[in-house]
Structure 1
Amino acid sequence: MDFIFIDDMRVDAHVGIFEREKAAPQTLEISLTFGVPDEAAQDDDIDKTIRYDAVIDRIRAELATRHFNLLETLGEYVIGLLLNEFGAPWVKISIAKMGIMKGVRRVGVQIERSR
């Protein structure tokens, strides 16, 4: 299986349980790795792979309009997009809030799912 990765994508999202987190979006750092069909590389055909630009645009659009209490829920939502809408057979995601606590650079979750 071939994979595409997107590292350290910055996206503004409404996520969190505290009032300050509900009042304004915060920047998250998202990294994704997802499986793609082997045929894309064999045929050199963009239509046989998952377009990373479409994935990035879709994630940004979705997160701009939704609120999630938990990073875990946000991660499961993004994984659902990749598995169900884009047809990825396997997805791994890492999502981090940056500078959320004094003396801590990042706090986040990692989730891995397959069909």
Structure 2
Amino acid sequence: MLYRVGVFYFLIMDIIFLRNFRAKTRIGIYPWERKVAQTIQLDLEIALPNKRAAMNDCIEDAMDYAQIAQSIHEILAEHNFSLLEALAEHIAQTIMLQYEAPWVKVSVAKLGIVRGVEKIGICIERGIKEKGGCNGE
């Protein structure tokens, strides 16, 4: 949200994050990937629709981190995806719709699937966000 003070505009955006979220799911294009659950790692940054929680210090105004995690577990249990890209998109759209987030960044990675590579994956951003972020990106 942009606020104007005199001739200056200030961006106010609070971003929560879930990092190193690991879960098992069936994902992939090969038959063996469709049979065996693989561990994936997710990292999420979610812009809050308002700054009430920061201003009021009231839990009722905050996003429920556990509920967000539960929503992701439900997606992984109920859907089968061939591509990490499709999974990331589904998670991003669900978070934006269910929690009214104006912006979300979702990273999804398979662990140890390629020899000599710790993880492979995709990172997507959806919505509207100004410059900045938790990592100063």
User: Structure 2 length as normaliser, TM-score?
Assistant: 0.80
Alignment partner of 1:21 out of 33, 39, 45: 33
What are the ranges of 5 or more consecutive residues in structure 2 without an aligned counterpart? Answer: 1-12, 129-137
Q: Does 1:10 align with 2:12?
A: no
Identify the structure with bigger relative contact order (alpha carbons < 8 Å, sequence gap 6+): 1
Q: Give matches, 1:26-45, under 5 Å.
A: 26-36=38-48, 37-45=50-58
Please state how far the C-alpha of 1:49 moved relative to its aligned partner: 2.4
Cα distance in 2 for partners of 1:47, 1:15 equals 36
Structure 2 letter corresponding to 1:43: N
Distance 1:13 1:91 in 2: 22
Q: Which has the higher strand share?
A: 1
- Secondary structure at the aligned position of 2:26 is classed as strand
- Cα offset, 1:99, TM superposition: 0.5
Is 1:53 aligned to residue 66 of structure 2? yes
Write 1 or 2 for the structure with the bigger share of helix: 1
**Structure 1 SS opposite 2:29:** coil
Aligned CA RMSD, in angstroms, stands at: 1.0
* Inter-partner Cα distance in structure 2 for 1:46 and 1:58: 19
Percent identity (aligned): 36
Displacement of 1:100: 0.4
Q: How many residues get paired?
A: 115
Q: Gapped runs of 5+ residues in structure 1? A: none
User: Where does residue 126 of structure 2 map in the other structure?
Assistant: 113
